[in-house]
Amino acid sequence: MKQVRVGIVGFGTVGRATADIIVKHSDLIERRSGVKLVVTAVCRRQAIDPADVPAGARVTTGWKELLTAADVDVIVETMGGIEHSLQLLRGALEHGKPVVTANKKLLAEHGDELFALAVARNLPIGFEASVAGGIPILRVIQESTAGDRLRALHGILNGTSNYILTQMENRGIDFDEALSEAQKAGYAEADPTFDIDGQDARDKLCILARMAFGGRLAVERIPTHGIRDVRAVDIRSAQRLKRTIRLVASAEQTDNGLDVSVRPWLVDRRSMLAKVEDVNNAVFLIGDRLGTQMFYGRGAGGDATGAAVVSDLVEIARDLAAGRLSGKNVVGFLESRELEIAPEPKPAGWYLRLTVNDERGIIARVAEILSREGMNIDSVQQEPHSPKTRLSLFFTVEPVSEPKVRSAIEKINAFEFMVEPVLLLRIE
Ligand code: HSE
């Protein structure tokens, strides 16, 4: 077989970019792999601009017929969501067709079933595009670091949140404007709350942690906080502390189990995390022997994600042509061992932003609570020129366990001068 025919289901930003790369890089792909990729069908429920459809491809609105279509060898799933994509992947594998998906939510929630089915049918699921867009991090974990024991991984896994935070900082624009730009650029999920509330990063972290540490991990067990409550005052306050804010997904093996979370961190302006700007993602892997490695690149958007989809298609096409298509043992998904979660995260420094109705003695009363709960205050600031009825006060405290700081916050939130609940950010 010298020609492999591709059906693309979901013809939005990523689906269209995938088709475009296959068409424009056709010769390059053929020279490198010895196989020609051809898009023979594209499927979308909404209308498709004919200019986006590769020459010779047919357009359909129902994906079910692709499962048995004689002109489709491989199915690409770029429609997102769970209900249809789960049926599509199950159906494709059951009908003997390999699949490529960019759907992290689907794999985080149903990866066990789908990878088991793929092995039973001896067919591959390509999923490089599901985590960190164009960064080939899954191949790195599955293959390149296979000889080492990974101890920790952390990174910036949501391009939309990172875009919002860096645009707020660099251009002084507000949250909503930055989000709308990220949506226009095709970075955000169909429902952008998944980006800003941290679920997108959580799903990606779940896949990475399972593969890196080899075990099951239910997504709901990952404590997740997004960037929805971060405001311009926090960005300015972080700047005064020579820091900035990043949404960090982190998993670390400790003596008590896996310390895992997605949450905004205050990071040093000179740190590598701070240097990851706009839609870029970064993943740090820390291994016993390899030490720390950093992988960096565009984490969202049609081109970067489409290029990752095509990389899987090329691998599958090569194996199909050589008659050696097989199901892969995806570490972490085909085992019954559960990853043990640490009952209490490691102590950290914390940043607290209070929004108060100004009166005498607020700092003294807050300081007393913090001290009584065993915290040592590291810095106190007040936002210059804040209105007295919405005054922003910022405290940072030296490393302490999260339950301690949360217990203090509960007491602080009960003060009558509090206008809204405390915003809590972890300090790197
Ligand atoms: N919406 C995601 C992000 C891209 O902003 O990173 C797809 O995973």
- Tell me the pLDDT tens digit for each residue of 371-421: 999 999 999 999 998 899 999 999 999 999 999 999 999 999 999 999 999
How many angstroms is it from 180 CA to the middle of ligand 1? 14
Q: Which of 195, 196, 197, 278 to mutate to test the pocket of ligand 1 (most atoms within 8 A of CB)?
A: 195
Residue in this structure with the two tokens 């004919």, named with its chain if needed: 50
Distance in Å from the first CA to the final CA of the chain:
52
Q: Token pair of 82, please?
A: 């769970």
Amino acid at 154: H
Q: Which atom belonging to ligand 1 lies closest to the Cα atom of 305?
A: 7
Q: Which of 97, 104, 105, 204 is catalytic?
A: 204
Say how far apart CA 300 and CA 306 lie, in whole Å.
Answer: 10
- DSSP labels for 196-260? HTSHHHHHHHHHHHHHHHTSB--GGGS-B--STT--HHHHHHHHHTTEEEEEEEEEEEETTEEEE
- Indicate the SS3 state at residue 105: helix
List pLDDT tens digits, range 245-294: 999 999 999 999 999 999 999 999 999 999 999 999 999 999 999 999 99
Q: Is 1 a residue whose pLDDT tops 80?
A: no
Q: Which atom belonging to ligand 1 lies closest to the Cα atom of 131?
A: 8
How many angstroms is it from 131 CA to the middle of ligand 1? 8
Q: Which of 161, 165, 187 to mutate to test the pocket of ligand 1 (most atoms within 8 A of CB)?
A: 187
Give the CA dihedral 238, 355, 393, 179, nearest 10 degrees. 10
Task: Name 292's Cβ contacts closer than 8 Å, sequence gap at least 6.
Answer: 284, 285, 286
How many angstroms is it from 281 CA to the middle of ligand 1? 10
Q: Which of 78, 106, 158, 278 to mutate to test the pocket of ligand 1 (most atoms within 8 A of CB)?
A: 158
Q: Which letter, b or e, does each residue of 341-352 get, where b requires 16 or more Cβ atoms within 10 Å of its Cβ?
A: beeebeebbbbb
Tell the residue nearest (CA) to atom 8 of ligand 1.
300
Half-sphere exposure of 16 (CA within 13 A, CB side): 14
Q: Is 49 a residue whose pLDDT tops 60?
A: yes
Give the pLDDT mean for 38-58. Answer: 95
Q: Is 424 a residue whose pLDDT tops 90?
A: yes
Q: Which atom belonging to ligand 1 lies closest to the Cα atom of 163?
A: 5
- Between 299 and 335, the higher pLDDT residue: 299
Q: Is 68 a residue whose pLDDT tops 60?
A: yes
pLDDT attached to residue 139: 96
Task: List all residues whose CB is within 6 A of at least one atom of ligand 1.
Answer: 158-160, 187-189, 195, 200, 299-300
How many angstroms is it from 299 CA to the middle of ligand 1? 7
Q: Is 308 a residue whose pLDDT tops 80?
A: yes
Known catalytic residue at 204: yes
- Indicate the SS3 state at residue 165: helix
Say how far apart CA 130 and CA 232 lie, in whole Å.
Answer: 31
List pLDDT tens digits, range 113-127: 999 999 999 999 999
Say how far apart CA 305 and CA 30 lie, in whole Å.
Answer: 20
Q: Which letter, b or e, does each residue of 294-327 get, where b requires 16 or more Cβ atoms within 10 Å of its Cβ?
A: ebbbbbbbbbbbbbbbbbbbbbbbbbbbeeebeb
In the DSSP assignment, the letter for residue 188 is S
The answer to whether 67 touches 97, Cβ cutoff 8 Å, is yes
Instruction: Give the DSSP H or E segment for 41.
Output: strand 36-43
Distances (CA, A) of 168 to 144, 162, 165, 201, 232: 36, 10, 5, 20, 7
Q: Token pair of 302, please?
A: 């049609």
List pLDDT tens digits, range 204-219: 999 999 999 999 999 9
Nearest to 79 by CA among 96, 61, 56: 61
Residue in this structure with the two tokens 């039973």, named with its chain if needed: 120
Say how far apart CA 230 and CA 381 lie, in whole Å.
Answer: 17
Give the pLDDT mean for 353-364. Answer: 97
Per-residue pLDDT band for 335 (boundaries 50, 70, 90) equals confident
How many angstroms is it from 300 CA to the middle of ligand 1? 5
Give the pLDDT mean for 27-44. Answer: 95
Q: State the pairing for strand pair 418-427/257-268.
A: parallel
Say how far apart CA 226 and CA 216 lie, in whole Å.
Answer: 23
